[in-house]
Every structure is written in structure tokens, then in C-alpha cells.
Structure 1
Amino acid sequence: MTGDMAQIFGEFIGTLLLILLGDGVCAAVNLNKSKAQGSGWIVITFGWAMAVAMAAYISGFMGPAHLNPALTIAMAIEGSLSWHLVLPFIIAQMLGAIVGAVLVWIAYLPHWAETKDQGAILGSFATGPAVRNSPSNLATEAIGTFVLVLGILSFSQHEFAGGVNVLAVGFLILSIGLSLGGPTGYAINPARDLGPRIAHEILPIANKGTSDWTYSWIPVVGPIIGGIIAVLVYNVMV
């Protein structure tokens, strides 16, 4: 597979793996009778950091491995990505996120019935605020994504040994999660939240409650705003 189709498929498979491993660590920590239950925020942040790095390593030979609509939009504005690929990339990312969440559901299939906490179940798929305050939650998601996109753009100004730049992005995700993830669970990626939230809505998950659609726009709009601002700041820097 070559050309645009390879890049688009890379976004699909990469985002699938991102959600499989990222939501997988959330399920491991949240669900009853999981061997990792209760292991906490440090495990989740490390798990997500490694999920980003591993997904990018596996899919990155096919394309840019954005795995994130906010990053895709930012890179198109910055000029690194042709605009004709933006919509196909975002569709592929969303589909990959949904499929990845379905695979998490299958991997932990007996554990949903063992878990009565509906918040823990939804938290294994999508993010949610620790304190529900829409302006503040939106700002948190924008700030986190600003750091992500500015970091990725700035890394292009450095010389890395082959493949080390991907690991650096993983550490960037770890830093964002540890420092800025507490208020909202740091979606910093519209596909990471919306795709699994759709899966939560449609799957026959035992003991599930609402998919919290009233919050769902924040982890979509906030990251896009943060990514755009990051490009504007980066353009001033360079």
C-alpha cells in the first residue's frame, strides 16, 4: 500500500492501537477483578504515554501518525499536511478509535458485569471532568493540546537519532498527563474521546449508564482550539 491510501490506513490502524492500549490501561485500573485494579493515576499516565509511542512506532512508517484530529488540523494550518488529506485522516482516526474501543470491551468482557460503578465503566472509554465547569474544562483541554502541538512542532527543530522523536512525544504525553490531566482526564484528542464515547453508547456493555453527551463537545472543541493557538505561537517562534 502506497500514497494517500497508505497514510489514511496508517491513521486508522494507529488510532485503533492508541485507543486499544490507552483505554485498555483505563479499563485495567477501573474495572473490578482486574489484576491492575486501583493501581492509580501514575499507571494510567504511563500507559497512555506508551500507547501513543507504540501506536506511532507501529503505524508511523505509513504516514505522519497524527492519530489526533486536532494535530491533523494544526499540521494543515502549519503547512506540513495537504488540506485534501484532512477529512480522510479525521474519518480514519474516528473509525480507528471506535474499533479500538470495541476491542477493549472484548478484551475485558467478563469484567463489565463485575463492575457496578457506571462512572468507572464510562471512564474506561471516555474522559470526564473532576469538577464540572464548562469554561474551565474547555480551557484545560485547550491548554493541554496547546502544549502537545507546540511540543511536536518544536521537536522538528531538533536532531533526533532515528525513531527517538517518537519516544520524545511519548514523554511529552506523560508530562501533560501528570501535570495537566487532573481536571479533565486530558483527552487532548477529539478522536480519543468521541470515538470511544460512541462505542460506549452503542455497545451492549453490562452495567453501563449514560455516555454523558452533555460533556462530549468539550474534548472535541478544546483540543482543536489549543492546536490552532499552538500553530500561531510556533509561527512566531520560528
Structure 2
Amino acid sequence: MSSGHIFIGEIIGTAVLILLGGGVCAAVTLKHSKARGAGWVAIAFGWGFAVLAGAYIANGLSGGQLNPAVTLGVAIKSGDWSNVPVYLAGQMLGAIIGATLVWLAYYGQFKAHLTDPEIVAGFDADSAGPMTEDGHLPGGPVLGIFSTGPEIRNPVQNLVTEIIGTTVLVLFILTEGMTNGLALNGLGIFLVALLVVGIGLSLGGPTGYAINPARDLGPRIVHSLLPLPNKGSSDWSYAWIPVAGPLIGGALAGGIYQIAFA
């Protein structure tokens, strides 16, 4: 695989991942969406199918890693770090493109949602939003479409939750069997997609299971830049957790693989 193929594959695959994953969050959240209120199970399966589509599309070009934590784990397993910057650059750019496409696909729904008095009541567009029962300020009424946030804001617990979920994901990928150290086979991609659904259902409740730094950071950047009325803050005080947690989890999975399976 050339660096050019890796870069293009990761851009396209990650863009599809975020388009479909962010799309299901938008579908469940936004007013005048036919899927509004469908709930967490729909979101978990939506993200699983998003991984399936993105990874299959990118597999032939880049191996469909689509996740800096996966890239880190693969590099620790293989010892080859030469293309890590290319993977990371493609993943971040793809995540930004995918989040922008979600906004375009739901443009009318975003406008209706964010100008509805019942939706924005209690949200201050210049602050992080209303105080919740556990005493923290979350993002505004659409931040959850773009990025993750905790139900209970406890940085240590939130970080540990992301580490655990990502370790399970990356260790599964490393032990499932890699083609040339880079690409999962077709069945492997399907199994990873099912695992993402399982992680969402089992471990996604506390933090929304980023388990992918690009998945959270890229769309959060888009949220901060888009001209959305009454959108609230992008909650940058929390943003380091869904980046650091998955990277630690990916490194931990790589270390476990080297100790137990290599």
C-alpha cells in the first residue's frame, strides 16, 4: 500500500464512518427527523453499520483502520511506524468531512431544531448549556450529534471507561487476524462492526463511547466552526478525554498483544 492510497482510503472510509454514525445521532436527536427518539439501541446499531461501511470501502486502499487508536495498536504489534502520520492525517480530515456532510444532509432539521423555542429553552448560546443534576455544564442541544459527552462528569471514570472500551476493540482487531499486518478480511470487518454495536450497548452508557479520537475531535471541530444558531459550546474542557482515553486503550491493547499473543 502506498502512502497516497492509505491517505485517500482513510479519508473516504472515515468520512463514511462519521457520515453514517453522526447521521444516526442526528436522526435520533433532531426535530422533524422521522427517526427522532428512536433511542440508544438505534444509535449503537447505526454506529456498527457505519464501521462496516467505512471499513469495507477503505479496506482495499488502506486496510480501513479509520481510528488512530487502531493505528497505534497495529503499529505496536507490527513495529512499523512509517505510515502512522499518513493514517492519522487521513482519519482526521475524513472525520471533518463526514461531520460536515451530516450537517448538509440534515440542514433543514438543524435549522428547525435550533430555532425552536422548546428545544433551546434553558440553553445559553454563549455558555456550555444548562446545569445538569450532577452539576456540570454540557454542550448545547446538538453537540451530541458531533461528539461524545459523559452522563456523569468524572474525569477519572470517564477516562477509564474510554480506555476499557477501546482496549476491547483494538485487542479484538489485533487478535482476529490481520492481512499483511494492515487489513482485516471481509469477515473480520463484519465481526468488528458487531463488536462496535456490542461495546455501544455494554459500555457506551457512561460516556457515549468515542473509542476513536478522530471520531470525536474532528466532528467537535466542525461543531465549533459551523454557523449554527443557539448551538452552545463545543465543551472543549472534556475534549481531551475521548482523545487520550482511546489512545491509551490502543497502546494498552498493543502491549497486551505483544505480551500474551506475539
Q: Does the CA-based 8 Å contact 1:97-1:196 persist in structure 2?
A: yes
Kindly, what percent of the aligned residue pairs are identical?
A: 53
Question: Which of these residues, 179, 201, 204, is aligned with residue 202 of structure 2?
Answer: 179
Question: Which of these residues, 205, 215, 236, is aligned with residue 192 of structure 1?
Answer: 215
1:114 matched residue in structure 2: 112
Deviation by residue 1:195-235 (Cα, 9 ceiling, x = unmatched):
00000000112321100000000000000111111111122
Could you tell me how far 1:113 is from its partner in structure 2?
2.1
Matched, 1:209 2:207: no
Could you tell me how far 1:125 is from its partner in structure 2?
0.4
Matched, 1:124 2:145: yes
Q: Does the CA-based 8 Å contact 1:31-1:120 persist in structure 2?
A: no
Cα RMSD, aligned residues only: 1.7
**Amino acid across the alignment from 2:102:** V
Could you tell me how far 1:8 is from its partner in structure 2?
1.4
Could you tell me how far 1:120 is from its partner in structure 2?
3.7
**Amino acid across the alignment from 1:211:** S
Aligned partners of 1:66, 1:205: CA distance in 2, in Å?
31
Could you tell me how far 1:76 is from its partner in structure 2?
0.8
Deviation by residue 1:154-181 (Cα, 9 ceiling, x = unmatched):
11189xx961111000011011000000
Aligned partners of 2:12, 2:185: CA distance in 1, in Å?
22
1:147 matched residue in structure 2: 168
The 5 Å alignment of 1:15-94 reads 15-79=14-78, 82-94=80-92
Aligned partners of 2:198, 2:227: CA distance in 1, in Å?
35
Q: Does the CA-based 8 Å contact 2:3-2:86 persist in structure 1?
A: no
Highest CA radius of gyration, 1 or 2? 2
Question: Which of these residues, 243, 247, 251, is aligned with residue 224 of structure 1?
Answer: 247
Q: Does the CA-based 8 Å contact 1:112-1:207 persist in structure 2?
A: no
Q: Does the CA-based 8 Å contact 2:141-2:232 persist in structure 1?
A: no
Matched, 1:138 2:136: no
Aligned partners of 1:219, 1:95: CA distance in 2, in Å?
17
Distance 1:152 1:110, change over 3 A: same
Q: Is 116-125 or 227-236 further displaced after alignment?
A: 116-125
Could you tell me how far 1:89 is from its partner in structure 2?
1.0
Aligned partners of 1:59, 1:91: CA distance in 2, in Å?
15
Q: Does the CA-based 8 Å contact 2:6-2:86 persist in structure 1?
A: no
Runs of 5+ in structure 1 lacking a partner?
none
Aligned partners of 2:178, 2:6: CA distance in 1, in Å?
23
Aligned partners of 2:88, 2:236: CA distance in 1, in Å?
20
Q: Does the CA-based 8 Å contact 1:113-1:207 persist in structure 2?
A: no
TM-score by length of 2: 0.86
Look up the SS of the partner of 1:213 in the other structure.
coil
Aligned partners of 1:125, 1:86: CA distance in 2, in Å?
25
Q: Which runs of 4+ in 1 moved over 4 A?
A: none
Question: Which of these residues, 164, 167, 172, is aligned with residue 190 of structure 2?
Answer: 167
Q: Is 82-91 or 113-122 further displaced after alignment?
A: 113-122
Aligned partners of 1:3, 1:91: CA distance in 2, in Å?
15
**Number of residues of Structure 1 aligned to a counterpart in Structure 2:** 234
1:96 matched residue in structure 2: 94
Distance 1:176 1:112, change over 3 A: same
Q: Does the CA-based 8 Å contact 1:127-1:185 persist in structure 2?
A: yes
TM-score by length of 1: 0.94
